[in-house]
Amino acid sequence: MSRICQITGKKVISGNNVSHSHAKTKRKFHPNLHTKRFYVPEEDKWIKLMVSAAGIRNINKKGIAAALKEAAEKGYYKA
């Protein structure tokens, strides 16, 4: 499974390791992803999502139904 948050769309980005001498080598920045189960009362079922820490906070703030609807509109989540 790819390393993409299903709520926020956060994914791996690239950058540089910078040494003391400022020699640069490529590296990757990974999002803080967790596989987590959420209960959706509207559908009366549990769903499993790979979400970032920011995505979990988003769900806590908006609610799971609103967060899923918004993520589906943006194309991050497919029901």
Give pLDDT tens digits for 13-70: 999 999 999 999 999 999 999 999 999 999 999 999 999 999 999 999 999 999 999 9
Domain presence at residue 7: no
CA dihedral over 17, 10, 47, 75, signed as positive or negative: negative
Which CATH number fits the domain that encloses residue 63?
A: 2.30.170.40
State the pLDDT at residue 2.
87
| CA gap 64, 79 in Å, rounded | 13
What is the distance of C-alpha 18 from the center of its chain?
27
Domain presence at residue 4: no
Q: Cβ distance 68 to 59 under 8 Å?
A: no
Domain presence at residue 2: no
Domain residues for 22?
A: 13-74
State the pLDDT at residue 68.
97
State the pLDDT at residue 79.
76
- What is the model's pTM? 0.87
* HSE-CB of 17 using CA atoms within 13 angstroms: 5
Residue 75 has pLDDT above 90, yes or no: yes
Domain presence at residue 3: no
Domain presence at residue 1: no
The Cβ of residue 34 has, within 10 Å, a number of other Cβ atoms equal to 13
State the pLDDT at residue 24.
98
Domain presence at residue 27: yes
